[in-house]
Amino acid sequence: MSLLPESISRIWRAAPPELRWLRPQDAAACARLHAASFLHGWQAGDFEAYARDEGCCALGAFAGAKMLVGASIARRSGAEAEILTIMVDPAWRGQNIARQLMERTLAELAAQGVSKVFLEVEHDNLAACALYRRLAFADIARRQAYYARADGTRAEAIVMRRDLAN
């Protein structure tokens, strides 16, 4: 379910979203977007902490310079980083926003000296898996029954890694 009425989102989709670093005041919008994208949404306080954390790359895609339509959060630790989440408003999916967020995040991580980036994705999230593979992420492990689903079943996670050239 989109966070915007279809009539408004169609108008705003005419111009590509602007990418900028998230600020603490974007936390509530991040929490709403996360809840619309995942079964277990994160709290606004989580996003506020990520936006303040110098070890995180917290990037947002904004329509009309104010409305959050996508975001990604990555956390660095030394020469490694993990993509913690990436999300796009359902009405804005298919517009290459996730790819733009990932490419900008990966470039920033490389500029900060990160050489390896990891992420986890639900095995049957085919669009996300395809995007990550197009961005040169490779499967390195599987986690059985990792993600909880709304119907009570559990889904396998694929752990992926990409090496960055520094």
DSSP state of 88: E
Continuous H helices in 53-154: 97-111, 126-134
Q: Percentage helix, strand, coil, to 5, in the chain?
A: 35, 35, 30
Which amino acids are annotated catalytic?
120, 132
Q: Which two tokens stand for residue 54?
A: 């110098």
Residue 52 token pair:
């303040």
- Hey, what's the torsion of the CAs at 40, 161, 57, 80, to 10 degrees? 120
Residue found by looking up tokens 């752990």 in the block? 159
Strand partners, 72: 59, 86
* DSSP state at residue 91: G
